[in-house]
Chain A
């Protein structure tokens, strides 16, 4: 999901290529712009993939470090948000593997004492009350989903990644990715139904 993608897709793609080129050339203002536009996306991918706040913060920083290292290779074949999401998902998967090797128990979001994500800032209270409730429902349902279903949903809907890319990174057949998407979506819909 692009931070502020607007206008027709082709001009947006051109703007993204320009932004990537400026960042790669060392333009600090462009680099700040990239961080501003995509930090929420990367942070959300980390959080929604089940990383606790502290780890999500570290991994987010590493993701941006990798993004800046790899930007010269960005050719604009996909949207910048999708490309950054791919980098983020790869890093999240690596981080999980490394954490599993260290055998560190980090708990689950439903555990007592698990750090809760920061709440989004409200812009209009009456409108945001319902949105906030829906967000909480979706997050609650997402937290109850087992891996890799949760990562699949987050990568597809939040990262706007194609099924093929998700399958490659998570090392599973495309059919399995689609099955996770279908079942996961039904689970989320069931949790949201009461609010509609």
Chain B
């Protein structure tokens, strides 16, 4: 048997949502509790009323400009440019630039790296970090 607290939690489960919307049967545990608790019958009725009214009250017609843009995007094949977070990109590039310099201070670098010189090392480090950040972002977008 459900307690009143459990009953209030059950209100938001999918089987109860379907029952409130008339898309499914009333779950047995909820039905049993309702028969014995007038307070929870009222709570159920209010939740059902909210479920019926709130979506309409929260819905906003999309502005014509957005619809027009979306239509154009559909025609062009939804070619939206991938977004790049420039703050993160610059931060990672800076980290990539500083790390080789720190590595050089911390200890001797292999001769082929040392031959590049500190400026080139920093540029290469920044480029790698920038590219890695962009690739991670693209991968995240692709996964969704």
In contact, B58 and A157 (Cβ under 8 angstroms): yes
Q: Which residues of A does B touch, CB under 8 Å?
A: 1, 9, 28, 31-32, 35-36, 39-44, 47-48, 53, 57, 60-62, 64-66, 68-70, 87, 90, 98, 101-102, 117-118, 120-121, 131, 134-135, 138-139, 142, 153-154, 156-158, 160, 162-163, 175, 177-178, 181-182, 185, 188-189
Question: Lowest 3 CB-CB distances: which A-B pairs, in order?
Answer: A39-B62, A65-B80, A43-B62
Give the residue of B9, B12, B56, B61 whose beta carbon is less than 8 angstroms from that of A156. Answer: B12
> What are 9 of the A-B contact pairs (CB < 8 Å)?
A28-B74, A32-B71, A40-B62, A43-B63, A57-B69, A70-B144, A102-B85, A139-B58, A188-B50
Q: Which residue of chain B has its CB nearest to the CB of A47? A: B60
- Taking CB atoms and an 8 Å cut-off, the chain B residues in 62-78 that contact chain A are 62-63, 65-67, 69-71, 73-75, 78
- Taking CB atoms and an 8 Å cut-off, the chain B residues in 17-66 that contact chain A are 17, 23, 46-47, 50-51, 53-63, 65-66
Whole-angstrom distance between the Cβ of A36 and the nearest chain B Cβ: 8
In contact, A35 and B46 (Cβ under 8 angstroms): no
In contact, B59 and A62 (Cβ under 8 angstroms): no
In contact, A121 and B74 (Cβ under 8 angstroms): no
Considering the chains assembled together, what is the distance between the CA atoms of A39 and B73 in angstroms?
Answer: 13
Q: Which residue of chain A has its CB nearest to the CB of B63? A: A118
Q: Which residues of B contact A70 (CB under 8 A)?
A: 144
Give the residue of B12, B13, B59 whose beta carbon is less than 8 angstroms from that of A40. Answer: B59
Chain B count of residues within 8 A CB distance of the other chain: 41
Q: Which residues of B contact A39 (CB under 8 A)?
A: 62, 66-67, 70
* Contact A64 to B78, CB < 8 A, known contacts A39-B62, A43-B63: yes
* Contact A35 to B74, CB < 8 A, known contacts A70-B144, A185-B47, A188-B50: yes
Q: Which residue of chain B has its CB nearest to the CB of A43? A: B62
Say yes or no: is B4 at the interface (Cβ < 8 Å to chain A): no
**5 extra interchain contacts, Cβ-Cβ under 8 A, other than A98-B85, A139-B58, A182-B12?**
A35-B67, A61-B66, A66-B144, A181-B12, A189-B46
Give the residue of B55, B65, B142 whose beta carbon is less than 8 angstroms from that of A157. Answer: B55
Say yes or no: is B119 at the interface (Cβ < 8 Å to chain A): no
